[in-house]
Amino acid sequence: MQYHPDKPIIAGNWKMNGLRGSKIEIEKLVNFLGNNNQNSNVIIFPPYTLISDFVNIAVSSDLFIGSQDCHQVNRGAYTGSISPEMIKDLGCNFVILGHSEVRNTKDESSILISKKAEATHKNNLTSIICVGEDAKSRMQGKQLDYVSNQLLKSIPTSANINNTVIAYEPIWAIGTGKSAHLEDIEIMHKHIISFLNDSKIFDNNPPNVIYGGSVNADNSRDILSIDNVNGALVGGASLDSDEFIKIIQSI
């Protein structure tokens, strides 16, 4: 199975949720994907403890499995870390990098995100690089500059449309149940595309830019219909396969 950058992305980030019994949700999802023609790339990012189980369930299906983060080197004395080489060995295809929760709790810089992304690319993994402003920057009207700076520092020279996806997720909308206004999403996604084109990072051929921030079955159709929104990074709503399938169907 291969990632198709010409198709939108519906990704589910399970965060620190899910036990072994949660496999039933993935089985339902795999069954749905097997019985319906897909016009999108569907990815689930389980906690590390479930990656191997989910990969085994998803094998030979249209479901990708990814990791929620990784270290910037392949091996070494880094207790508690997981390397891109290990992630690839498990059968993953994608890695989320720079999620706001990771940036904040671990105080990760955009420069470190770039190093992680380069490491994932060397291991033939596709990185979903997250960017997004905090509430203070938006209140001050500095959200465009904030995101531009993140993009400039977070994307390595190894990035191309086949190994990189950009996820815009305003920090103030993560886990709050409050999605950004549709107009704000449209403005930011247009800005991201323009910035990537102007900076020549992708040689005027920008990758998929997806939206994350309290996406659910009720608002997904409106969000995914916005220009330059090429998919969604879904949080809590991806834990329930029935809810997640509705989001997939809203493409």
Residue numbers annotated as active site: 99, 169
User: Can you tell me the distance from the alpha carbon of 60 to that of 206, in angstroms, rounded to the nearest whole number?
Assistant: 29
Asked whether residue 219 is marked as a ligand-binding residue, the answer is: no
178 is in an annotated binding site: no
Q: Is 197 annotated as belonging to a binding site?
A: no
φ, ψ at 246 (rounded to 5°): -60, -35
Confirm whether residue 98 is marked as ligand binding: no
Consult the annotation and say whether 136 binds a ligand.
no
How far, in whole angstroms, is CA 6 from its chain's centroid? 16
How many residues does this entry show for the chain? 251
Task: Say if residue 175 carries a ligand binding annotation.
Answer: yes
199 is in an annotated binding site: no
Q: Exposure pattern of 93-109 as b/e (b: 16+ CB <10 Å)? A: bbbbbbbbbbbeeeebe
Q: Give the whole-angstrom CA distance, residue 246 versus residue 242.
A: 6
Element (H, E) at 119: helix 110-122
Binding site feature residues for substrate: 13-15, 175, 214, 235-236
Binding site feature residues: 13-15, 175, 214, 235-236
